[in-house]
Amino acid sequence: MPYQLTPRLLTVAATLSALFVGTAALAQDPSRTDRRQLLAMRKLLFEAPLIDGHNDVPWQTRERLGNVLGEFNFSDTSALQPPMHTDLARLELSGLGGQFWSVYIPTSMAGPGATRAVLEQIDVVHRLVDKYPQQLQIALTSTGVDRARRAGRLASLIGMEGGHAIDNSLGALRQLYRAGVRYMTLTHSANTDWADSATDEAEHNGLSSFGLEVVREMNRMGMLVDLSHTSPATMHDALDTVRAPVIFSHSSAYGVTQHARNVPDDVLRRVANNGGVVMVTFVPSFISEDVRRHSDRARLERLKIRNQLTATFDGEALDTAVNTALDQWRTDNPAPNATLKDVADHIDHIRAIASVDIIGIGGDYDGITSVPVGLEDVSQYPALFLELRARGYSDRELKAIAGGNILRAMRAAEKVAADLISEPASDMVFGRN
């Protein structure tokens, strides 16, 4: 099926036409040679297509605008303060063909109202696509991704961050799938009532019996099980249970940076056997050991300052005094920078420990306050892939990392769901079975 000449594809085509102009001048001017390589990489990524596993634009609209999209100019967000990492202008330069938009709600919203809140975030994604129909298109399947790409639009998928959003209800889980959710992160920063988080004290030693049933029900529907944010015990329990590939929508390698949010080597090997995907993230403290250690020092310093000031201040005055003192500490102890090369190091490690065929990209743009040098916003994906090419990655490997691996996992999960279509929905009710 030929590509349709939509406005987005025409823009990309016009950009790529520079590849064939002025070859002699490019050879004489290194900066223009670099630009030619960059344009060629954008073309490779667009064809792959590049699919990012996690972007928090929907939460930005809630925090900044209360989900009122009427005056939100997603074509250009450069005037917003603090700056956003994502808009349509920069997406044109990114090489992206697909994006999982995260429908995140914090763990403080757990319990009654959690499902309503996440439905509001799903609604934001659908309304954003409706507002920009020439640039964005909802995709619910791997075939839908290809359909959107062929139409020259960014395939817009929905990933749900945090199992607390289902409020311990398999019925809610099923209806969220019907609303378009195609992966769910089993936990966020705190445990759910049925799964342990990577950044909380263990309660269940992994997954409870209800948590195992959540995983089975996700496989039955075709919803990808996302193990980012989960504890290693939860990772292993899920891998023991699943019949479809798992994903990590935004995690990196623990063997490189010893952050609790990263994936241990033994799990990486199991993901390779499972056919899953670890979508390497750009969060500075996850990809740089120096940044992680500085973040730990800052956290301990905050506790120390608060303890020292508690006798003098209370309430909001205490918070203000702590923040002022911590700002001074940060000025005296500047944080190191993570870089694009740190991200590439994680990719190298996962390839060496497991396989290039389990690697994807999950930048976490607009969900993080700082970014690696060289990956300042969504337009910078091609620079990362140029670094990988310089490290010896073949075009086949680059395309697999960009989107081939996650599309393969999606197709496998869809096949499992098709095989299980005759199985009834689970009757398990939390606290009764």
Question: What span, in angstroms and rounded, lies between the C-alpha atoms of 242 and 246?
Answer: 8
* Catalytic residue (one of 204, 250, 259, 346): 250
* Catalytic residue (one of 52, 87, 161, 196): 161
- Alpha-carbon dihedral sign for residues 229, 232, 238, 244: positive
- Sequential DSSP letters for 66-130: TT--TT--TT--TTSSSPPS--HHHHTTT-EEEEEEEEE--GGG-STTHHHHHHHHHHHHHHHHH
Q: Are 230 and 426 in contact (CB under 8 A)?
A: no
Residue 364 annotated as catalytic: yes
Residue 164 annotated as catalytic: no
Q: Pairing mode, if any, of strands 154-161 and 359-361?
A: unpaired
Give Cβ neighbours of residue 266 (< 8 Å, ≥ 6 apart). Answer: none
Question: What span, in angstroms and rounded, lies between the C-alpha atoms of 103 and 42?
Answer: 27
Residue 54 annotated as catalytic: yes
Residue 56 annotated as catalytic: yes
- Which segments of 242-371 does DSSP mark as H helices, in order? 265-274, 284-287, 289-309, 315-332, 340-353
Give the largest CA-CA distance in the chain.
Answer: 74
Residue of 90, 70, 67 lying closest to 78 (CA atoms)? 90
Question: What span, in angstroms and rounded, lies between the C-alpha atoms of 34 and 285?
Answer: 30
Look at the chain and count its residues. 433
Sole residue written with tokens 């694009």: 340
For residue 124, the one-letter residue type is V
* Catalytic residue (one of 87, 345, 364, 366): 364
Residue 52 annotated as catalytic: no
Residue 161 annotated as catalytic: yes
Residue 126 annotated as catalytic: no
- Is 161 in a helix, a strand, or coil? strand
* Catalytic residue (one of 52, 54, 226, 414): 54
* Catalytic residue (one of 85, 164, 188, 346): 188
* Catalytic residue (one of 164, 229, 236, 259): 229
Active site residues: 54, 56, 161, 188, 229, 250, 364
